[in-house]
């Protein structure tokens, strides 16, 4: 035996009954709300809400373009998942993707974002030429991720 249960059109019977109960007792509910709030409930319902005033508020612009006149403060960051990027310190936005740290045969190495290394969106030729010495550089106890970030930053002229 198979039962097919489908959603009906319209509200459920229980929901319709509750709505009717609330509407029938609207005056009692309003009176109790006014009593608890010292009349603020009805006053708020009658008053038109004022639009927020920008004075004293912190407004965050989340649009596509940057409207601030701040100068970018770039630095090289290596994230927990091994992505090596240049990030703006002021906004936290990624400026340039440089590559990633990959583990092969138990050895971690920096892989530059080039077409030969399998990256879909490779770096431009000037960055590849400047950073080609770092491609394949292994990360070991004597050469840490922090040191890699510092050296990449010094070659690119940004903080490490």
Kindly state the tokens that stand for 48. 């038109």
pLDDT at 85: 93
pLDDT at 140: 87
Kindly state the tokens that stand for 109. 């190495």
pLDDT at 63: 61
Residue 128 near residue 142 (C-beta atoms within 8 A): no
Q: Classify each residue of 130-152 as buried b or exposed e, where b means 16 or more C-beta atoms within 10 Å of its C-beta.
A: ebeebbebebeeeeeeeebbebb
Percent of the chain beyond pLDDT 70?
79
Q: Which CA distances in Å does 45 have to 42, 50, 92? A: 5, 13, 42
Per-domain boundaries in the chain: 13-46, 74-156
Q: Has residue 148 got a pLDDT over 80?
A: yes
pLDDT at 84: 93
For 38-77, how does the pLDDT look when each residue is reduced to its tens digit (9 = 90+)?
A: 988 888 887 767 776 666 656 666 665 554 556 888 999 9
pLDDT at 2: 62
Q: How far apart are CA 133 and CA 145, in angstroms?
A: 16
pLDDT at 45: 80
For 121-143, how does the pLDDT look when each residue is reduced to its tens digit (9 = 90+)?
A: 888 899 999 999 999 899 888 88
For 2-28, how does the pLDDT look when each residue is reduced to its tens digit (9 = 90+)?
A: 666 666 666 778 888 889 999 999 999
Q: How confident is the model at residue 29 (pLDDT cuts 50, 70, 90)?
A: very high
Section 89-103 average pLDDT: 90
């Amino acid at each position: 035996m198979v039962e097919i249960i489908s959603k009906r059109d319209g509200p459920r019977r229980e929901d319709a009954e509750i709505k009717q109960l609330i509407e029938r007792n609207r005056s009692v509910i309003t009176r109790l709300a006014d009593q608890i709030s010292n009349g603020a409930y009805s006053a708020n319902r009658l008053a038109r809400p004022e639009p927020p005033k920008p004075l004293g508020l912190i407004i965050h612009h989340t649009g596509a373009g940057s409207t601030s006149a701040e100068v970018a403060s770039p630095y090289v960051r290596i994230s927990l998942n091994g992505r090596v990027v240049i990030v703006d310190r002021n906004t936290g936005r990624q400026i340039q993707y440089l590559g990633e740290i990959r583990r092969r045969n138990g050895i971690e190495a920096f892989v530059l974002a080039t077409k030969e290394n399998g990256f879909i969106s490779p770096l431009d030729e000037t960055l590849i030429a400047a950073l080609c010495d770092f491609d394949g550089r292994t990360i070991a106890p004597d050469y840490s991720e922090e040191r890699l970030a510092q050296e990449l930053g010094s070659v690119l002229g940004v903080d490490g």
